[in-house]
Structure 1
């Protein structure tokens, strides 16, 4: 029954983390964008670029491209830094782009008893930036990465130049209701087994998870499924940490954060997939009216939770626009 529940609950509940109050601050995202790179980064190239930082938290996997002022890309669940490959292709000419893998997801290797909660992830990012001699960043974040980004920003405002948020948790909606069945699967110890099925049945991955979080799940390539799912089921420890990551989503890691967000001086841009049924457009509007220096909301027609992977041109356009604010 649990497996049937998993398949029927849209698959989007895997998202960990899985109109506007002022119309003049909203656009629907039909602006011009530049051409895509002639040779997009594939899984093999991203794997070859992977590096590890030895930190008190463990060996943290990351990919880095470009030079100059740094931009930090924070992924959702059950993804890893590969989510941002398209955006990095387009933005590495403008920033030193760093995409780490969160503890408990991706290819980071952490000890058995390391906390995987959002506040520990934020502390890990501080240590990573220190190891890379990066003092200040532009943050681009999605899904549960948006939770960590908000915590990082209020605790280390001097280290954040700008913040670009896509569909993600907000204090009133964390964890969202559609994620609760997945948290229950993690509690029962069945979530990793369900994810591992993707490795032998790619069509299942596309028809459940892919259909829920991408506008066009047919483009959820086999190599992408492998890159995301393989490490999560690679050992008993990794399976346990995958479960622990989800269990750490409650109680609400953003509880009480709103007053601090309202005092923020960081310029923020919100870019939201309009067809996401996990984080609704109301969440985008909440963020827009909460951040004093919000640069408004752009809704992406047809975009679901992980639209940044399908529409990296939108992320690149909005990041460059935001970065010119400071």
Structure 2
């Protein structure tokens, strides 16, 4: 039985103590796992177990998430999350990898791709949106919130409650019994730490910068045409299925698989998704 040894480490980047998980041979193809909201690298634990003997798998926590420690006064914007992730990759000497982007991982990852197209050997996109049609009505209303708007911050903070966090994991699933409670319980633990809610409020107000960047990211896809695997939970209340199919407009050769689940598709469909990712890694790395 092949089971990977997973190391849990920290590296210093611009005063941020970045936590990350790593498994796999140092000379193997690299898979960078970029997590979503409101989670952290722990959301990929089972995927790391599935892939971490054949590939070098690396999953960091962003500032404001998980075990990563940011200094007081850190500016929580998506540009800054990308800055720290970029510095993290440079510290590890990673210059070529397949990038798995989910939720917040998409705006972080596409910023990295714009800055360093030579780093990207391929893309795995899982409920990571880059298209207007991939925004539900609820997501559009959320993105439209502004700090000066009465009640806007309270609306964001309601999403940071245990009920809101659990709903993101179980909403849209075909069988909630397949969703382990550990994920949303641990996420809530981190959300309840001092300063974490304020970080998430700042990022929520900055999310409009991602939507404004969609045309640039789409142009990047058309120009660089990276090999791509798109896997998607069709019942995602934030990023519905049209967002998955939109990638085919700019990457017509991308492979698309849609599953009857919600936002955190790996929670319910890891047995189906992990082999797809492994097969894609083998093909992308041979290009």
Q: Which of the five TM-score ranges fits, normalised by the shorter chain?
A: 0.7 to 0.9
Separation in 1, partners of 2:235, 2:38: 20
Match of 1:299 in 2: 258
1:188 to 153, 157, 165: 153
Comparing 115-124 and 159-168, the one that deviates more:
115-124
- Kindly indicate whether residue 17 of structure 2 is the aligned counterpart of residue 59 of structure 1: yes
Higher relative contact order (CA 8 A, sep 6+): 1
* Equivalent of residue 84 in structure 2, options 124, 131, 145: 124
Deviation (angstroms), 1:100: 0.9
Question: Is residue 99 of structure 2 the alignment partner of residue 139 of structure 1?
Answer: yes
Answer yes or no: is the 8 Å Cα contact 2:180–2:267 preserved in 1. Answer: no
Deviations 1:78-121 (A, max 9, x none): 11111111111111112111111122222211123333332322
> Which aligned pairs between 1:88-127 and structure 2 lie closer than 5 A?
88-127=48-87
CA distance in 1, matches of 2:269, 2:120: 25
| TM-score scaled by length of structure 2 | 0.83
Alpha carbons 1:276, 1:305 under 8 Å: kept: yes
Unaligned runs of 5+ in 2: none
SS of residue paired to 1:130 = helix
Residues 100 and 226 of structure 1, relative CA distance in 2, 3 Å threshold:
same
CA change 1:163–1:209 in 2 (3 A) is: closer
- Residues 10-33 of structure 1: per-residue CA shift (max 9 Å, x gap): xxxxxxxxxxxxxxxxxxxxxxxx
Q: Which residue of 2 aligns with 1:242?
A: 200
Question: Do the aligned residues in 1 keep the contact of 2:165 with 2:184 (CA within 8 Å)?
Answer: yes
Alignment of 1:315-326 (within 5 A): 315-325=273-283, 326=286
CA gap of 1:169–1:205, structure 2 versus 1, over 3 A, is closer
The number of aligned residues is 275
Q: Which residue of structure 2 aligns with residue 313 of structure 1? A: 271
Report the RMSD for the aligned CA atoms in angstroms: 2.9
Structure 1 length-normalised TM: 0.74
